[in-house]
Amino acid sequence: MAFEVTKNGAKILLDRAFRLDDDATYTPISRGWVGIEQTTPLVTDTDLDRPIPIKEADTELVDDCETADWTQGTDSIAETLNSTSYIRGSNSLNLGKSGTTGTVFSYTKTTTSRDFTSKTLFLFVYVATLADLVASGTAITIRFGSDSSNYYYKDIDIDDLSAGWNTLWVDQATASTTGSPVVAACDYSGIFFNTDLAADTVTLGDVRMDHWHLASSGDFAEEFTTGYPSGPGDNLQIEARFAVLDTEGIGFDIDGVAYKNTDSGTPTTAAIAKHLVVGKDSTEQLIEVLKMRVRFT
């Protein structure tokens, strides 16, 4: 796995090499992020395309989908528990559409009140076959807010979904809004699915959802493993590494890693890499390793 040292990473190396700690512009590289990196990393990159929260214990639960107590919209089938296919806990919720009066089927709930300020809402949605939803355009809309008239929302395009489990997210900073949601007290959650025709139906369980939760900025970073960074020795190489534990990142696909420092405000990304996709589950631990070496030519 080859890393692309970013321009900012080169600045950190030079800054830390030639300035005393009290005078340095940048703090040392000390933490790692993982997530999805859709394209080959570039020297101009400043972050992963989509970081995922590593610190599972620090995220805030919105709804664990362990109880079938959501409110069905028109044409929606009452949800049931699925104890066979799920991401977290012991169940997901089976969803579906039996009515033929409209093209939308939906589920809403008054969930635990959460402060959404500068946070990201994550949830998992399973679609057995994309043909059950619209052929083009918005397939799913996620709502999170104060009530059914005041909420943040994000439209998910059918082209951004795949058959099977999908990770969906809504960033408070970039979400669209309806009405005037109270960001510090969001307790309305909703998911809306679009079909092409009112006559279209979706078999219960061919669509599922699981584990709505909020992540804050501190939930994405992992400190380096004890003993790292190591070096540099005679080979002029320094090595850093961190672990995503078996209890962390469950249900997320991971194919990108970023190394950053602790600059105030926004940490500076020093290096980014892309590797094979790892579907993280509770049976494995992921070790990410960065090696930087000075070469003379």
Q: What is the mean pLDDT of residues 248-270?
A: 91
Is 272 found in the same domain as 175? no
Q: Which domain holds residue 247?
A: 3-56+218-293
Over residues 35-43, mean pLDDT: 89
- 210: domain CATH number is 2.60.120.430
The pTM for the full model equals: 0.89
Listing DSSP states for the chain in one string gives --EEE-HHHHHHHHHHHHS-GGG-SSPPEEEEEEEE--S---TT--S-SEE----GGGSEEEE-S-S--PEE-TTBPPPEEESSS-SSTT-EEEEEE---S-SEEEEEEEEEEE--TT-EEEEEEEES-GGGS-SSSEEEEEEEEEETTEEEEEEEEGGG--SEEEEEEEETTT-EEES---TT-EEEEEEEEE-SSTT--EEEEEEEEEEEEEE-GGGS-EEPPTT-SB---TT-EEEEEEEE-TTSSTT-EEEEEEEEE--SSSPPEEEEEEEEEEE--TT--EEEEEEEE----
Residue 66 and residue 52 in one domain: no
Does one domain contain both 78 and 150? Answer: yes
Question: In terms of domains, do 69 and 188 share one?
Answer: yes
Last residue of a domain, one of 169, 193, 215: 215
Whether 44 and 98 map to the same domain: the answer is no
Q: pLDDT tens digits, residue range 191-226? A: 999 999 999 999 999 999 999 999 998 899 999 999
Give yes or no for residue 21 having a pLDDT over 90.
no
Total domains in the fold of the chain: 2
> In the listed set 163, 185, 215, which residue is the last one of a domain according to the structure?
215
- 52 & 84 share domain: no
Domain edge (last residue) among 167, 195, 215: 215
Q: Let me know whether 127 and 199 are in one domain.
A: yes
Asked whether residue 189 falls in the same domain as residue 222, the answer is: no
Q: Are residues 34 and 128 in the same domain?
A: no
Mean pLDDT computed over every residue of the chain:
93
Return the top range by mean pLDDT from 53-62, 122-131, 254-263: 122-131
Assess whether 123 and 268 both reside in one domain: no
* Residue 193 and residue 88 share a domain: yes
Say if residue 65 is in the same domain as residue 211.
yes
72-104: per-residue pLDDT in tens? Answer: 999 999 999 999 999 999 999 999 999 999 999
